[in-house]
Amino acid sequence: MLRIGHGYDVHRFVKGRRFILGGVEIDYEYGLLGHSDADVLLHAICDAILGALGLGDIGKHFPDTDSAYAGIDSRELLRNVITKMEAVHYRLGNLDCTIICQKPKLAPYIAKMVDLVASDCKVASGMINIKATTSEELGFTGRGEGIAAHAVVLLQRDERKSAAKRAAIIS
Ligand SMILES: Nc1ccn([C@@H]2O[C@H](COP(=O)(O)O)[C@@H](O)[C@H]2O)c(=O)n1
Ligand SMILES: C[C@@]1(CO)OP(=O)(O)OP(=O)(O)OC[C@H]1O
C-alpha cells in the first residue's frame, strides 16, 4: 500500500533571528520568524508526511500556542512525525522538496540538508531530494520577504511490521 502527501509552508525573513533551513544554520543577515526555529523546509516535510497518513497538519500536533514548542529545533518535530508514521506501520519511500528563495544562494548547503533529513527520516540519502529555485524576483519570495517550501512524499506500508503484529495477535 502506497500513500502520497504534499506539504507547503511559508516563513517571513526578519532581522535578529537565526536562519535555520533543513536543519542547517545558514549565515545570512536575516532569519526566519516563527514560534519554533521556523525551519520552513522541515515544516513542509512534516506536513507532507502527516498529510500522506491522513493525520492532519503540523499545527494540530504541535500548536503554536503551546510554549513547549517555543524555539524548538524542527528536527525534533520531524523525528516525532516519523515516530507517528512508524506507529501506524509506514516507512518513507522517497521525498522531493522545492525551496523558493531569492537570496541567499542555497546550493552550498543542500547536501548537508539531505543528510540530516535522511538521518531523521531513517532512510538513505538517495531517497531524499532537495531543490532550490528563485522566483525570478517576483512576489514575496522574489522581494526577499520570506521563503516558501513544498514537499512531496511517498510512504510505503511496512508489511513486515504489520504481518508481525497480526501474527502476535493470532498466536
Ligand atoms: N536560493 C537559491 C535559488 C536557486 N539556487 C540554485 O540556482 C539555480 C537557478 O535558479 P533559478 O531560480 O534561476 O532557476 C537553481 O536550480 C538552484 O540550483 C540556489 O542555490 N539558491
Ligand atoms: C512549527 C510550529 C510549532 O508550534 O510553529 P511555527 O514555527 O510558527 O511554524 P508553522 O509553520 O506556522 O507551524 C505551526 C507550529 O506547529
Tell me if residue 16 falls in helix, strand or coil. coil
Q: Which residues line ligand 2 (CB under 6 A)?
A: 9, 34-36, 38, 43, 58-59, 62-64, 69
Query: Per the annotation, where are the binding residues for a divalent metal cation?
Result: 9, 11, 43
pLDDT in tens, 140-154: 999 999 999 999 999
Q: What is the pTM of this model?
A: 0.95
> Ligand 1 pocket check: which of 40, 133, 137, 138 to mutate, most ligand atoms within 8 Å of Cβ?
133
Distance (angstroms) between ligand 2 centre and the Cα of 39 equals 9
Closest atom of ligand 2 relative to the 11 alpha carbon: 11
For the chain (171 residues), the mean pLDDT of every run of 10, in chain order, is 98 98 98 98 99 98 98 98 97 98 98 98 98 98 98 94 78 79
Give pairs for 133-140: CB < 8 Å, separation 24+.
133/98, 133/99, 133/100, 133/101, 134/100, 134/101, 134/102, 135/100, 135/102, 137/102, 140/10
Rounded Cα–Cα distance for residues 71 and 34 (Å): 8
The bound ligand whose nearest atom lies closest to the alpha carbon of 109 is: 1
Please report the domains of the chain, with CATH numbers, ordered by start residue: 2-170 (3.30.1330.50)
Binding-site residues from annotation:
9-11, 35-36, 43, 57-59, 62-66, 133-136, 140, 143
**Ligand 1 pocket, residues with Cβ under 6 angstroms:** 101, 105-107, 132-134
Question: What ipTM did this prediction achieve?
Answer: 0.94
